[in-house]
Structure 1
Amino acid sequence: MSKVGSIAVELRMAWWLKCYLRGVVVTAWLTGCEPDAARIGWWMSLGIKVTVRQAKKDEVSTVLVR
């Protein structure tokens, strides 16, 4: 039987993603148009990277929400 270990999940956001999303919001507000959700999702998939790995023994479990 195998042991169940801890995992670490790391989410990294590209530096430009917040700027892009703010630009989408401002453009939608100025024009009164609805943004294309599929296109925004495509850019978000490029700008957010998820890494899952086995946690080290000395790592502390934390949840960071910003």
Structure 2
Amino acid sequence: METQQIRIELRFAWWFRLYLCGVILFAVIMRQRPDEQKLIYWIRKGLRHRVVPARRQHG
């Protein structure tokens, strides 16, 4: 049986790093933990994934 290699590409939306920095900043300033459910919601909105076949290496 032949195995097939795949590659998973993950990309974040352009705004995601800014959002995450803002959440961390306010959490530190307020000495509170962020709402995990809201954080998970926005992570899912900002994360894009794609599964593609891995390139074959010649050799």
TM-score w.r.t. structure 1 length? 0.73
Q: Which amino acid aligns with 2:29?
A: L
CA-CA distance at 1:21 after TM superposition: 0.7
Q: Which amino acid aligns with 1:32?
A: R
Name the counterpart of 1:51: 50
Q: Which runs of 5+ in 2 are unaligned?
A: none
Report Cα offsets for 1:2-40 as digits up to 9, x if no partner: 521111110111111111011011111222232101100
Q: Which runs of 5+ in 1 are unaligned?
A: 59-66
Q: Tell me how many residue pairs correspond in the alignment.
A: 57
Identity level (%) = 32
Q: Which amino acid aligns with 2:38?
A: R
TM-score w.r.t. structure 2 length? 0.80
CA RMSD of aligned residues (A): 1.4
Task: Map 1:26-45 to 2 at 5 A.
Answer: 26-45=25-44
SS in 2 for 1:29: helix
